[in-house]
Amino acid sequence: MKKTTARLADGRELIYYDARDDVVRDAADRRPLDPVATDSEIRHDRLLGDSVAIASHRQARTYHPPADECPLCPSRGGRLSEIPAADYDVAVFENRFPSLAGGHGRCEVVCFTSDHDASFADLTDEQAALVLAAWADRTAELSQLPGVAQVFCFENRGEEIGVTLGHPHGQIYAYPFVTPRTERMLTSLAAHRKATGGRNLFDDVLADERADGRRIVLDAAHWFAFVPYAAHWPYEVHLYPKRRVPDLPALDDAARAEFPRVYLELLRRFDRLFGGGGASPAPTPYIAAWHQAPVRGAEQRAEFALHLELFTIRRTPGKLKFLAGSESGMNVFINDVPPEAAAERLREAASES
């Protein structure tokens, strides 16, 4: 992998990740951009203990542009975009409309491929491996920034999820605090360790899923995927490396090498869920979220288990799972699809060998 760092016309950082070492990246951003103006603020909810980002400047962000005006495509034929090069493998840049800014964290956009009409599931193993390398590299670098407490790599896919740019891409948030979801996991970890004389909750959850067997989706040499016992979403898969590590940079070579095959298979199964088995299944909207340990805290990092949570808001063809009163008002999820049934469907959607 070759990494090349550049600057956009307004000063934002741009990083190219190329599979070939002989690629030269010297195209300058020729757009007449004004400096980025952000108005981001972190407010604390005293009742719930949550942190909320107030970012009014995001109202002006690009919204469903036509394909020939996509800001994530390469700059070609006189049309200038966020990426000055005429082509790229993987590109990462600071978001022009960040949710976190002004000393309150950092937001980056990760473009998985220059092909506007592709999706992550269309990538080759080599392309997916390069994205993983970029995630790991950005996690390592962002973790070193002053004030960053946690790094979150994720992908939103599909208009139903709220995606406003159709180009295959994800995002990375470097939070100035440990997120509420992770804080709850850390609390459960500590309680389980105390109640069991030192056992690790993540290890026990994985052992229990293997012993039960009904919710296993995929069991590879270095990765394990299952529908959780108390799944919140109709179709939700958790993917863990079998060797417990705190974050993406800590993955060993064997896990990195196997990841593309495993992850691409999971994404392709999601696309087959509601496609009727045809050659061109309907794309399934999903969120893919990497849960990584906080940047600091040796004990927390030693206990935490890196994992990816992949879920869709679609519960059946033509019907979405909306977060209504119980979910949005009280954070109590009601799942219409039994996790065992979801796991069985995902096993049935496996690629033909």
pLDDT for 208 equals: 98
Tokens 């896990």 belong to 255
Nearest to 175 by CA among 14, 303, 51: 51
Domain end call among 175, 193, 213: 175
Longest dimension (CA), the chain: 65
Per-residue pLDDT of the chain (353 residues; tens, 9 = 90+): 999 999 999 999 999 999 999 999 999 999 999 888 787 889 999 999 999 988 877 766 666 788 889 999 999 988 999 999 999 999 999 999 888 887 789 999 999 999 999 999 999 999 999 999 999 999 999 999 999 999 999 999 999 998 889 999 999 999 999 999 999 999 999 999 999 999 999 999 999 999 999 999 999 999 999 999 999 999 999 999 999 999 999 999 999 999 999 999 999 999 999 874 444 556 899 999 999 999 999 999 999 999 999 999 999 888 899 989 999 999 999 999 999 999 999 999 998 75
pLDDT for 278 equals: 46
CB 247 within 8 A of CB 292: yes
Same domain, 136 and 199: no
> Which residues constitute the domain of residue 74?
2-175
Q: Establish whether 222 is a catalytic residue.
A: no
Same domain, 210 and 273: yes
Same domain, 170 and 309: no
pLDDT for 277 equals: 45
14 SS3 class: strand
Same domain, 128 and 61: yes
pLDDT for 283 equals: 84
Nearest to 159 by CA among 344, 248, 285, 265: 285
Q: Is residue 353 part of a domain?
A: no
Domain end call among 175, 198, 215: 175
Catalytic residue chosen out of the listed positions 64, 116, 167, 169: 169
Same domain, 231 and 318: yes
Same domain, 109 and 146: yes
Q: Is residue 45 part of a domain?
A: yes
Domain end call among 125, 155, 175: 175
Same domain, 164 and 237: no
Whole-angstrom distance, CA of residue 107 vs CA of residue 176: 11
Q: Which is it for strands 13-18 and 223-226: parallel, antiparallel or unpaired?
A: unpaired
Whole-angstrom distance, CA of residue 204 vs CA of residue 186: 15
Q: Over the range 7-33, which residues count as b (16 or more CB within 10 Å of their CB) and which as e? A: ebeeebebbbbbeeeeeebebebeeee
pTM for this predicted structure: 0.94
- CATH number reported for the structural domain that contains residue 123 in this entry: 3.30.428.10
Strand pairing partners for 287?
156, 311
Same domain, 112 and 227: no
What are the residues whose beta carbons fall under 8 Å from the beta carbon of 85, sequence distance 6 or more?
A: 16, 25, 27, 74, 75, 91
pLDDT for 281 equals: 54
